[in-house]
C-alpha cells in the first residue's frame, strides 16, 4: 500500500520500473502477482494484466492505471527501496 492506494511494482530485466494500481478494473478486487507468468492476476474472475497494466485477458476491458514515480532519481531503485521511499512520501 502507498497511502490508501494498493500499488504493484515490477522491475523488468531492461531496468524499467512499472508501477500500477494493483486492483482489478472489473471488480475492484486486489490483484496477485504471478512470478512464473510475470502478470498481475485477479483471483476473483481470472482477469490478467501485463506488468505495465495492459489487459491480457479476462472479463476486463480497461487497463490498470499507471502510478507516477515522484522523482527521476528514483527510477532505477530496486523495487523494495522504491516501495519504502513511496511509503515515506505519503
Q: What is the pTM of this model?
A: 0.79
Higher pLDDT, 18 or 37: 37
Which set of grid coordinates corresponds to residue 5? 492506494
Stated length of the chain: 90
Phi and psi at residue 73, to the nearest 5°? -65, -20
CATH annotation of 7-69: 2.102.10.10
Q: How confident is the model at residue 78 (pLDDT cuts 50, 70, 90)?
A: confident
Residue 1: per-residue pLDDT: 56
pLDDT-wise least confident of 17-26, 52-61, 79-88: 79-88
For the chain, the structural domain boundaries read 7-69
DSSP state of 89: H
Reply yes or no on whether the pLDDT at 13 is more than 60.
Answer: yes
- All 3 cell numbers of residue 24? 482489478
Amino acid at each position: 500500500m502507498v497511502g490508501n492506494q494498493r500499488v504493484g511494482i515490477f522491475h523488468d530485466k531492461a531496468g524499467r520500473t512499472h508501477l500500477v494500481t494493483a486492483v482489478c478494473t472489473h471488480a475492484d478486487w486486489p490483484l496477485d502477482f504471478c512470478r512464473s507468468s510475470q502478470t498481475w492476476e485477479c483471483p476473483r474472475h481470472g482477469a490478467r494484466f501485463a506488468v505495465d497494466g495492459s489487459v491480457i485477458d479476462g472479463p476486463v476491458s480497461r487497463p490498470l492505471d499507471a502510478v507516477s514515480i515522484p522523482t527521476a532519481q528514483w527510477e532505477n531503485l530496486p523495487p523494495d527501496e522504491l516501495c519504502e521511499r513511496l511509503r515515506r512520501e505519503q
